[in-house]
Structure formats: structure tokens, C-alpha cells
A and B are shown apart, each in its own frame.
Chain A
Amino acid sequence: MNTTTNTASASNGMLAVGGIGLIVSLGIVLMKLMSEGHSAFATTANIPWGLPISTYLFFVLASTGLTFVAALSMVFGIKGFYPIAKRSVWLAIITLIAGFAALGLEIGHPFRMIWTFPAGMQFRSPMFWMGVFYTADLVLLLFKFQKMNADDWDSGASRQLGVASFVAVVLAQGTLGSVFGMMAMRPFWYDGLVPVFFLVTAALSGAAFVVLFIQIAYRGNTDSMPLDVKALMTGAMPKVFAAVLGVYLVFTIARTATGLWSNLEGNEVFRVMYGSMLFHFEFWIGLVVPFFILINGNLRNQATMQILASALVILALFIGRYEFVIMGQMVPMFKGQWTPGLASYMPGLAEWMLVVLAVSITLFLYALGARMFDLSGKPKS
């Protein structure tokens, strides 16, 4: 069939772009790390977490969202979502790997985690749990995908894997949220509801990723989709996308308004954020425009509009993660005249290459998956 060929050629292109991107970016990062060590990163004692961490956040929360999307059919039995479940699980796996790659190259001694996590059992650290749950999540997703690929959708084991991976990822993103939300010394983050906020943001990125990648898979041609996929993409999917985006907008507005209104020391960062072009681009172009596209019954079912909306949302989420991570650190802790005003951070080449690397991994593995597996696979019945 035509579509298959098209898909294949598309995936060839993606494979090439992803592969080259992967080799180039990894090469540059490794070279920088080799020659300069971690001085290659522009992080400082004031801003210890930079773009690689927000990239990590972006990708693992996308993975979380994609697991949610898969769970709609696999855990909650909403059958209409079966046709995109396998693709979602694959995307969840590869975005998680992309996120881990960014993190692994940023932290000082990643391999030390292998023994220090189990040996330490530091149950008070949200990061410890985040590590445990995301690792579990990856393992479970891989098993689940293997089952799906073996056409085992309904066995007890397969279903339990689905449920388990869903539970793991809810806990994982929750503890990831707490990594930030528990930081009482940083008012920009300090909020017991960050796990809930992350839940919404994860769901939104899941929806956006799925929409984008399905459109890519079918080359933006709704008519070339199998009927059940087409029904989903012109029915429930964009509606779910719209709904989650709406909830996310409420969160963003509420959080920003509270931050701007309160005089709490440390919350002045909200004013900085509100005063930046980046935020307004993110909010108006990246969120409000897609929202209006998606609530419009006509527009939301058009492939190009879906591509536009999902791409903008993905960009907005990427910016949002960056703002969240960096701005939470901008109030210097006891620096006085040494750092008058707020701390600043400007990512350098090494950091940007880690972003390119994570994106390339996603593209490369996705294309690879598209070649190796039938990502449109679904239960026979």
C-alpha cells in the first residue's frame, strides 16, 4: 500500500536525521566533557540545575503522559484508544530513554547510582523514589511493549503489566513533582500540589506527542489513516487534547496569578517571568492559540491544525519546563552583593547539544521502532 511506502520513506528520513543528530550531538557533548569536564556546563553554585535538567523533565514527563494515553485503553478499557496504544508505549519508552540520556550526561557520577541507591535506601528523598519509580516504569514499559509486540494484549500478565506501569509512572511523576514541590526554601516551587500540576502537564505532553507522531506517521493525511485511527483523531483525541490543554491553562494562570499577587520573598521571580518575552510567547502562542484551534470543532479535526497545535504545545511545554527549573533557582541563597539582583543562567553549547541529543534519540528510536515494529498494532478483536 501507498501509505506503508510513504511511512517507510518518512521514517527513513527521520532515521537519518535522528541518527546524524545523535552522532553529532553525542560527539560534541563527549568531546566537551572530555576536554573541559563538567566545566563545559554553564551551571553555577546559584543555578546548579540547568537546561539538561529541564530537558530531562520535559522528556520524562512526556513519557509519563504517553503512558497515560496508552493507559486509556489498556488500563481504563476505553477501546477507542487501542489503535494508538502501542505507538504511545513505544514513544513513552524512547522519550524516557531520551530523558535519562540527558540526565545521565549531566550528573557527575551516574553509574554510582547503581549501588548507592539500593545501599542507601534514602526513603526521605523524593529523588530516590523518582529514580526507583522511573526505573520500574522503564522496565515495565519494555515488558509491556514486548507483550504487545507479541500480540499479547489481554493476558493477565499483560494487563497487570499495563496497570503496574501506569501506577509506577503516576508515582514516578508524583515524586518528580515532589523533588521540586517539597523545597520550602524555594517559594517558586514550594507547593504540595506540584505532583498534581505535573500530572496535568504530563498528560498534556502525552496528548501533544501522540497527536504529532500519529500525524507524522500518516504524513498529515487523515484519509490515509485506518478508520479506527481516523475516528480517534477526528473525535476523542483532539477533544481530550483540548480538555487537558484547558486544564493546563487554568493551572498556569492560577499559578502565575498567585505568584504575581503574593509578596512572599522569592516570588518576585514570577514578576521576572511575567516580564519576559519568552513567557508571553509560551502562553499566547504556545498555549492560547492551540487552545482556540482545538476548541473549534472544524479546525481541531484538520491534520495541519493538529500538527500546528501539537507542535506549539510541545514547544510551550519545553519553555515551561525551562522556566520552571531555572526560575526556581533564580533567587540567590545568601549571596548579597556577590550576586546583586537575581542569579542568571545562559545555557552553553554543551547544554544545547544535550537537547539535540535527546531530540535525536527520540527521532532515531522512533524511526527505528517504526521500521522494526508495527507501531499501529492493536488487539485483533
Chain B
Amino acid sequence: MTLEFKTSRRRFLQATGATGAVAATGIGLSGGTLAPASAQQAASAAGTATVVNKNICHQCPARCGIDVYTTGGKVHAIYGNPDHPIANGKLCPKGHLGTYILYDPDRFKGPMKRTNPNKGRDQDPKFVPISWDEALNTVAARLQALRDKGESHRFTLAFGRGWGASCAGLLGTFGKLYGSPNIGLGHSSMCSDGSKKAKHATDGNKDYNSYDYLNTNYILNFGAGFLEAFRPYNNNLQVWGHLRTKSPRARVTVVDVRLTTTGAAADRLVMIKPATDGAFALAIAHVILTEGLWERDFVGDFADPAMKFEAGKTLAADSFKEKWVSGLIEWWNAVVKDATPEWASKITTLTVKEIVTVAREFGSTRPAMALFERGPTAHTNGVHTGMAIHALNALVGSLFAKGGLAYQMGPAYGSLDVKSDDFLDDYAKAPERKKPRMDLVGSAEWPMADNQLQGVAKHHLAGNPYKIDTMMFYLTSPIFSAPGCKDWETALKDIFVIDTSPFPGETSVFADLVLPDHTYLERLQDAPTYPFQGYPLAQLRTPAVKPVHDTKVFGDILIEIGKRMKGPMGDYYKAVGNTENVVKALAKGFEKSPGDNGVNSFETWVQKGVWYKKPYHWRQVRGEFYEWDGTAYAKKMDAEEVKKKLLKTPSGKFEFKSGLMEAKADFVTAKVGIPAERVGFPQWFEAKHTGGGDLHVVTPKSSAHAEGRSANTPWAINIYQPTSGGRTQNLMEIHPEAAKKRNIADGDKVRVKSSIGTISATARYYAGLRPDTIVLPFGFGHWAYGRWAKGRGSGNVSEVTENVSDPISGLACYYTGKVTVEKA
């Protein structure tokens, strides 16, 4: 942590120590009326005293701890939890929107069933309110009936933003006890599986990185919206203030297709042609190697110090003594020797000078990190692009280094005394339960992907591997957000749909049952951290108010359905009881491993809202790996330990020739077209652009929107697109030159067409954009979701985004589409 953060926390802890119980809620001395509050106290508070409850923001995956201010039973303010290492008492703009979401006038008021048998976008479902008992019994009866027929696999439950053990964490058990491989189909393939796969292929960790931004001196950012949406957004912003004023001031180069706030605030923005980031990364590697800028302590060196990497010249494999990497010379010979800046310049449209300058800066500044996420990987060449970028981190030795990248540790959670395996009945154990997954992951089609939710509608329509009977949705709405989303409108017509969203989203229009979840300020819910700074961290939502409407937290919905199942499954869920028991069981783990802030029980967790235990346990220092021994990084690790804990590849090293890929060489060759001898290398090949148009379309997230939870919030709508002035709607940004060629004036209504559909939008001239690319922010164009969201602004970009995915990672190619734009 930085000095400034550390200082503030120390000051905070001193003050809390001095003021006892009041300070335990993170509240200072001055308020007078402020008092500590348990969930129960808060819920019953009727007076004018202000109580503060701990919670976790729900607007993006970052999981910032928040303080929820409630007076007279009404929530009126949300601020960052000062004791929370991600939030540090701060929030991004979305963090402040929670009150509007809690009191959204369009929220569902309670469980409902559909009475209109016809389904369609324009069909009013004619919902009628029902009791929770009726709702849960209906679902349980349906599931029981499927099970009785031996068709339990036809019950599918898709989830998106799962939080922790008390919601998404329950799904695996439910699927196991019930007997369906489709309970808990995840959406990560519509999120950022490309970067995970790239890292899995090169350093063996199938995960997002944690980043030590506070100590870095150089960030080479490939397309991550660091100051717009990149998680943990709030902390990125905090880090930015530090990076730009620390000594030495960290330099930042941003690679993007348009002028973003991230690019503008950086030292340099290079506006690259979409889907060519891999070529740029390879050219950087080329310069680093040819100019001798690589980190010898980590990478190794030539046996003969006089030897050099020379462009176009192959080297003997044994000429180089590799340390923590493998396959460097093979990679050089096959790929990098020819990846000159001149070569990359032609592909990327960047100038040779830009490429060389960035490469030299990156290669000669330590510590430096290259980061990327969905941007460069949401193309058919995505994983390989990701591998090429991640290879740069190996070349400059930033893996597990101070100021470099690492991976996230999990929290010291406890578990329930009730063991689910004791409740498996013969049905659940039967071999017939081994059915293919509805998303075909694990089949010959998707042998390497982790998820493929975007394929489920197509698979259902084709009856491949079978037809879905009942589908439940938790925090995901592919009918709106999946590429080629209209497939879902057909698919959901003959599926019994159960929606759990508190909001009248698009899924609910096709729902047969609505079992509305609490909004987050009403929930008790845990969430371990998303990759942050590596050390373990787990936060908790506690209810700030009694549920505003007749809603139920998703975890309890699932448990209640479980209780209504016959046999041992029902017994299991009766034993589990409710999510509160689950959360309490998690907190048991803290007894043996108290957090740095003193959290050692459920009660203290509720009080502080977060448990964390610093530091991260491993560090690479000048080519040696060390483990934390309780006071210092002093325990030197041998190669075996490094392989087991950190570089989890077949070779135990960072692989420039990926063992993971080689193991699936036939598939890679067949699907991606890489010749057998090149399989496994980070490399660049042309992406297959979909859509059939002449303009690239990128669909970024904006700072007040991100995952779209603010769609029906006029306060957010009002500030969505500050750089191009979208005050009342989202606008399609287009370079004036490109617009004029198409006779489009600033402010004109336009049609955006691809091979699968047409949407309308309003054009806004924005000269800070490549003329071959348009920008249409993601997550707009609702045809449901509430009075402010519905029908506002442009159409939904998912309707012009073809459902094409990177064959290896399975990541939907959101940014690979090309469209035509014409005046409406």
C-alpha cells in the first residue's frame, strides 16, 4: 500500500480505537446522532437518528465496501467504507446511485405469475401477484416433475454477476443434488474469459491478475478503460491520483481505438486499428529483445554474452539459458524475429516511431506492467493477442514482482456443518446424470472454453444437445446483452422462464414466473474480492432497511425451492435453513484467522463489513521467488513450489510456447487455422471481422453505467457520456470525416446495420476517434427495464453484434463487428 493510504488507515484505526463502539461503524465523532447499527436495529429504526450499515456496492464487480446512511428508515446517502481496502472511504459515480436503485419506482413489488400465454417483445405478460409460497411451490413442483421423468438436466439456471458463497456459491450443490449439469451456467464468456485463457496458457493461472499499481513505474495499457470501467474502478481512480503525483511519476501509455479519458489523462495514447494489438505487442517484444532490454534475472541470458537477437535471424535453441521462462528462442525463431516495428506498423496503422518509442520506454522502465482485459481479446484472435501482451510482462520480469502483477488469494472462509454429499440420492448419483452441458462446454465444439452462455439459445433452438424445459436467470439477461440477442426472444418462447431480477428487465417480459430478489441494500450477502492486490479479502452486505417490497434474497429463493424437493435434497436444504446460516458458517473461518481490522466473527464482520489479511504471500525479487514467513518475504521457494503455487504451467515456467495449447494442437489448428508447428506461441493473425460492414464498432462501458445497473436511473442517464455530451441519451460517436462521407450531420438520426440486424442511433461528431471506427456504448437500447430506460437513445448494440466467439477462450467477440452507418 502507499504511504498515503497506509497513513489514512492508521489514523483511522487510532481514532476508532479511541472512540470505541461508535467508531466501529466507521463514523467519526462529529455527527452526534450517528450510532452503530446492526442490521436489525437499522431495519427497525423509525426515529430521526442516522444509522450506518455496511454493504458492498453492486454496480460493478469491484466490490467496494460502502457505508449506507439511513435515517428514519430511509436510505439517503452512500459513501465508501473508510475501513475497506478497495474503497478507502471513496466511491466512483456509480457507487452513489444505490439509493435511486433501492427506491426505483419500477421495481417489482412481489412474486408474480404470467397470465398471457403469448410471449413476445410487445406482449404484455399480464402478471398477477402471487404469494411466495405459491411461487416457490410452483417452481418446486415443476422441478420435481422433471426429476420424476428423469429429465432434471432440462432445468437450466444461468447467472451473471454472482457474488459469493451465499448466492452463486449455492448453485453447484443444487445442481449436484438435483441432477443437472446446467445449474450455474456462467456468463464469463460474455465478460472476459479471453484474458483468463491467455494467462492460463502462458503462466498457468486461469484467472484475472492482481496488480501492484501503487509501486509501478510504467503502465502499458491495452484498451482497458482504466478511468472509465476497468475493475476495481474506484480503486483505479484512487491509484491514478497516486501514480500521477508520486516520485517518480509513473508513466502511462494507453493503446485504444479512440480518445478516452484514460487515454487523455495518460502520457501517451496510441490509437490502434481494432484487433491488431497483438501485432503491436509482438513488435514491442521484438524491440525489447533486439535492443537487449529484457529482464535477465527473470528471463535468463545468452550463454555467450556477445550474442544478440537480430531481426530476421534465427538462433540456436541452446544458445540461451532460460530462467523462469520456456520456449523463448523457439518463439523468437517462429514469430518474434519477423515482428519488426515496420511489420507491425503496416498492420496497426501506428508509426514505426510510436512503436519503437513505446517499446523502449516499456523495456527500460522497471517495474513496468502490460495490462489488458476484454478490449483486445474480444476478437477471434483474442487469446493469442492476450498471450502476446502478457508475454511482455514476462520479458520485463514483472510477474509476482513489486510493482508488477500477481494473482488473487481466496479468503479464510469456514463452511457449513451440513455436508451435501451426505444428501445425494440414487437419482443424483446415477450415471445417467452425466449429461452434456447446455452450453456444450467440454464437448468437441468447446474443449477449451469455460463457459458459453451466449450459445445456449441457439443450442436450445437446435435441440442440441437437448431442449430446455425450465430456465431460471440470476443477475444476467442474455436476451438483452448477449451477442445476437434476438435468438433468445425465439428460444424463451417455449421455455418456462423464471426471472429473479428486482427490475422489469427484458427477461421478465418473457418470464412465466417472477421471483424478485432484494436489491443489494436489503440483502445479507457475502462476496470475496475480485482480483485486487492479491491478499485475501471478503466483504459483506448487511441490510440497511427492511425490504421495501415483498422480495426475497436469491440465495433464500434457491434454498426454499430446495426445501420443497422430495427426498434427501429437501432434507439438505432444511438443514441449511437460510443464507444467514451460510454466511455465519463462512465467518467461522475468521475465528482462526482474524482479519487485520480485527474481524473474527459474524458479528464483527457485520460491524466492519470487510475481512482482510495482508500481505500477499509471494514475491519475485530479481529472479528469485520468496514466500511470506509472517514478517517478511524471506522464505526462498524452489522450482517445485513455484510451479505448484505460482507458475502453474506444465513446465513450471512462463511459457512462450504454451503447453496448454500444444495439448489441444489439433483443435487449435482446425478451429483457428494456426499451422501445427506454430501452435502455442503468442502470435498475431488477422481477426475474422463479422457484420459485413465498413466501420468497426466498439461498444465500451462508461463510468456511470458499466454493467448497466443504472439504466433506469435518470441521474446516471444525465452523465453517461461526458466526453461527447450525451445528456439525455447515449450517442453514437463518429469521426466527422467518416460522417460527412455518409452525408451524416452532427445530431442526425442514423441506422446502424450489420448482417444480423439494424438499430437506430443519434450521431455525434467526435474527432477523437479513428475514422474507421464508431463508438456505441454498451448496455443501452432497452425495450424494457423501467420508465426511464425503455426506448431511450440508440438501439441495443447486441442486436447488431454477431454471435461469434474466440474458439479457444469462448469469449464473445463483442468488438470484432463491422457495420454500415447511414442517415435515417
Please, how many residues of chain A have a CB less than 8 angstroms from a CB on the other chain?
5
Q: B723 at the A/B interface (Cβ < 8 Å)?
A: yes
Q: B727 at the A/B interface (Cβ < 8 Å)?
A: yes
B25 to chain A, nearest CB (A): 38
Q: B722 at the A/B interface (Cβ < 8 Å)?
A: yes
Q: B93 at the A/B interface (Cβ < 8 Å)?
A: no
Chain A, Cβ-Cβ closest to B718: A338
B121 to chain A, nearest CB (A): 32
Q: A9 at the A/B interface (Cβ < 8 Å)?
A: no
On chain B, the residues within 8 Å of A336 by CB distance are: 725
Chain B, Cβ-Cβ closest to A340: B725
Q: A339 at the A/B interface (Cβ < 8 Å)?
A: yes
Within 8 A of B (CB), among A319-364: 336-340
A339 to chain B, nearest CB (A): 7
- Rounded to whole angstroms, the CA-CA distance of A340 and B724 in the bound complex is 9
B655 to chain A, nearest CB (A): 46
- Rounded to whole angstroms, the CA-CA distance of A337 and B746 in the bound complex is 13
Please, how many residues of chain B have a CB less than 8 angstroms from a CB on the other chain?
5
> Would you give the 0/1 interface string for B721-746, flagging 1 where the beta carbon is closer than 8 Å to chain A?
01111010000000000000000000
On chain B, the residues within 8 Å of A339 by CB distance are: 725
Chain B, Cβ-Cβ closest to A336: B725
> Would you give the 0/1 interface string for B553-574, flagging 1 where the beta carbon is closer than 8 Å to chain A?
0000000000000000000000
On chain B, the residues within 8 Å of A338 by CB distance are: 722, 725, 727
- Rounded to whole angstroms, the CA-CA distance of A57 and B727 in the bound complex is 32
On chain A, the residues within 8 Å of B722 by CB distance are: 337-338
B704 to chain A, nearest CB (A): 14
- Rounded to whole angstroms, the CA-CA distance of A339 and B727 in the bound complex is 9
On chain B, the residues within 8 Å of A337 by CB distance are: 722-725
On chain A, the residues within 8 Å of B725 by CB distance are: 336-340
On chain B, the residues within 8 Å of A340 by CB distance are: 725
Within 8 A of A (CB), among B79-94: none
Chain A, Cβ-Cβ closest to B722: A337
Within 8 A of B (CB), among A58-98: none
> Would you give the 0/1 interface string for A4-43, flagging 1 where the beta carbon is closer than 8 Å to chain B?
0000000000000000000000000000000000000000
- Rounded to whole angstroms, the CA-CA distance of A340 and B731 in the bound complex is 14
B777 to chain A, nearest CB (A): 15
B378 to chain A, nearest CB (A): 27
- Rounded to whole angstroms, the CA-CA distance of A21 and B727 in the bound complex is 38
Chain A, Cβ-Cβ closest to B721: A337
- Rounded to whole angstroms, the CA-CA distance of A339 and B726 in the bound complex is 10
A344 to chain B, nearest CB (A): 11
- Rounded to whole angstroms, the CA-CA distance of A336 and B261 in the bound complex is 15
Chain A, Cβ-Cβ closest to B765: A340
- Rounded to whole angstroms, the CA-CA distance of A338 and B722 in the bound complex is 7
On chain A, the residues within 8 Å of B724 by CB distance are: 337
Chain B, Cβ-Cβ closest to A338: B725
- Rounded to whole angstroms, the CA-CA distance of A190 and B266 in the bound complex is 40
Chain A, Cβ-Cβ closest to B766: A337
B745 to chain A, nearest CB (A): 13
Chain B, Cβ-Cβ closest to A339: B725
A9 to chain B, nearest CB (A): 53
- Rounded to whole angstroms, the CA-CA distance of A361 and B317 in the bound complex is 98
On chain A, the residues within 8 Å of B727 by CB distance are: 338
On chain A, the residues within 8 Å of B723 by CB distance are: 337
- Rounded to whole angstroms, the CA-CA distance of A340 and B746 in the bound complex is 11
Chain A, Cβ-Cβ closest to B719: A338
- Rounded to whole angstroms, the CA-CA distance of A340 and B723 in the bound complex is 11
Within 8 A of A (CB), among B698-723: 722-723
- Rounded to whole angstroms, the CA-CA distance of A144 and B722 in the bound complex is 58
- Rounded to whole angstroms, the CA-CA distance of A337 and B724 in the bound complex is 6
B480 to chain A, nearest CB (A): 28
- Rounded to whole angstroms, the CA-CA distance of A336 and B724 in the bound complex is 9
Chain A, Cβ-Cβ closest to B746: A340
- Rounded to whole angstroms, the CA-CA distance of A339 and B725 in the bound complex is 7
A333 to chain B, nearest CB (A): 15
- Rounded to whole angstroms, the CA-CA distance of A296 and B724 in the bound complex is 56
- Rounded to whole angstroms, the CA-CA distance of A167 and B328 in the bound complex is 94
- Rounded to whole angstroms, the CA-CA distance of A336 and B722 in the bound complex is 9
- Rounded to whole angstroms, the CA-CA distance of A337 and B731 in the bound complex is 12
B259 to chain A, nearest CB (A): 12
- Rounded to whole angstroms, the CA-CA distance of A340 and B725 in the bound complex is 8
- Rounded to whole angstroms, the CA-CA distance of A227 and B724 in the bound complex is 69
- Rounded to whole angstroms, the CA-CA distance of A337 and B723 in the bound complex is 6
Q: Which of B722, B723, B724, B725 has the most CB of A within 10 A?
A: B725
A142 to chain B, nearest CB (A): 48
B702 to chain A, nearest CB (A): 13
- Rounded to whole angstroms, the CA-CA distance of A380 and B724 in the bound complex is 72
- Rounded to whole angstroms, the CA-CA distance of A75 and B235 in the bound complex is 75
Chain B, Cβ-Cβ closest to A341: B746
B762 to chain A, nearest CB (A): 13
- Rounded to whole angstroms, the CA-CA distance of A338 and B725 in the bound complex is 4
B78 to chain A, nearest CB (A): 25
- Rounded to whole angstroms, the CA-CA distance of A337 and B764 in the bound complex is 11
- Rounded to whole angstroms, the CA-CA distance of A338 and B723 in the bound complex is 8
Within 8 A of A (CB), among B491-514: none
Chain A, Cβ-Cβ closest to B724: A337
- Rounded to whole angstroms, the CA-CA distance of A69 and B722 in the bound complex is 54
B38 to chain A, nearest CB (A): 43
B744 to chain A, nearest CB (A): 16
A337 to chain B, nearest CB (A): 4
- Rounded to whole angstroms, the CA-CA distance of A336 and B726 in the bound complex is 12
Within 8 A of A (CB), among B346-374: none
- Rounded to whole angstroms, the CA-CA distance of A340 and B722 in the bound complex is 11
- Rounded to whole angstroms, the CA-CA distance of A340 and B727 in the bound complex is 11
- Rounded to whole angstroms, the CA-CA distance of A338 and B764 in the bound complex is 12
- Rounded to whole angstroms, the CA-CA distance of A338 and B724 in the bound complex is 7
- Rounded to whole angstroms, the CA-CA distance of A336 and B723 in the bound complex is 9
- Rounded to whole angstroms, the CA-CA distance of A337 and B722 in the bound complex is 7
B450 to chain A, nearest CB (A): 40
A39 to chain B, nearest CB (A): 15
- Rounded to whole angstroms, the CA-CA distance of A173 and B727 in the bound complex is 39
- Rounded to whole angstroms, the CA-CA distance of A339 and B724 in the bound complex is 9
- Rounded to whole angstroms, the CA-CA distance of A8 and B703 in the bound complex is 70
Within 8 A of B (CB), among A285-343: 336-340
B715 to chain A, nearest CB (A): 15
> Would you give the 0/1 interface string for A120-161, flagging 1 where the beta carbon is closer than 8 Å to chain B?
000000000000000000000000000000000000000000
Q: Which of A336, A338, A339 has the most CB of B within 10 A?
A: A338
B457 to chain A, nearest CB (A): 38
Chain B, Cβ-Cβ closest to A337: B725
Within 8 A of A (CB), among B362-420: none
- Rounded to whole angstroms, the CA-CA distance of A340 and B733 in the bound complex is 14
B179 to chain A, nearest CB (A): 56
- Rounded to whole angstroms, the CA-CA distance of A187 and B725 in the bound complex is 25
Chain B, Cβ-Cβ closest to A335: B725
> Would you give the 0/1 interface string for B202-236, flagging 1 where the beta carbon is closer than 8 Å to chain A?
00000000000000000000000000000000000
- Rounded to whole angstroms, the CA-CA distance of A339 and B722 in the bound complex is 10
B554 to chain A, nearest CB (A): 38
- Rounded to whole angstroms, the CA-CA distance of A281 and B725 in the bound complex is 34
- Rounded to whole angstroms, the CA-CA distance of A336 and B725 in the bound complex is 8
B739 to chain A, nearest CB (A): 14
- Rounded to whole angstroms, the CA-CA distance of A145 and B724 in the bound complex is 59
- Rounded to whole angstroms, the CA-CA distance of A40 and B723 in the bound complex is 30
- Rounded to whole angstroms, the CA-CA distance of A228 and B725 in the bound complex is 64
Q: Which of A336, A339, A340 has the most CB of B within 10 A?
A: A340
- Rounded to whole angstroms, the CA-CA distance of A282 and B724 in the bound complex is 36
B521 to chain A, nearest CB (A): 30
Interface residues of B (CB under 8 A from A): 722-725, 727
Interface residues of A (CB under 8 A from B): 336-340
Those 8 A-B pairs whose CB atoms lie nearest each other, nearest first: A337-B725, A338-B725, A340-B725, A338-B727, A337-B724, A337-B723, A337-B722, A339-B725
- Show 10 residue pairs from A and B whose CB-CB distance is below 8 angstroms, ordered by the A residue: A336-B725, A337-B722, A337-B723, A337-B724, A337-B725, A338-B722, A338-B725, A338-B727, A339-B725, A340-B725
Given A337-B722, A337-B725, A340-B725, 7 additional A-B pairs, CB 8 A: A336-B725, A337-B723, A337-B724, A338-B722, A338-B725, A338-B727, A339-B725
